[in-house]
Amino acid sequence: MSALLTRTTALGYDDLVLLVAEHAELLAAARATIAAAALGEGDPLIHLRHALAAHGQLPPAGARPVVLLARCSAPTVLPRCLIGEVS
């Protein structure tokens, strides 16, 4: 069982590294969007739109912001051992 746990942890670590990198990318895009808006750029959302599109995360046409916020949950990329589902 120790080998299985080590293997699961190693895979989980890779997932976590990817998640951290994606979070950093999204945070940079959000900061660039705020900076672009403050400078009065024509389309400040382009930075965020590009980052979301790169991961297939653009909202569907006509989506309501409150609905999108209500559906926020832990990403499925997190291994179960990191979100408390290990028995």
Cβ 19 vs Cβ 75: under 8 Å: yes
SS3 assignment, position 67: helix
29-72 pLDDT, tens digit per residue, is 999 999 999 999 999 999 999 999 998 999 999 999 999 888 87
pLDDT confidence of residue 38 = 98
Q: What are phi and psi of 55, to 5 degrees?
A: -110, 15
More confident residue, 84 or 27: 27
14-23 pLDDT, tens digit per residue, is 888 888 899 9
Please indicate, yes or no, whether the overall pTM of this predicted structure exceeds 0.75.
no
pLDDT confidence of residue 13 = 81
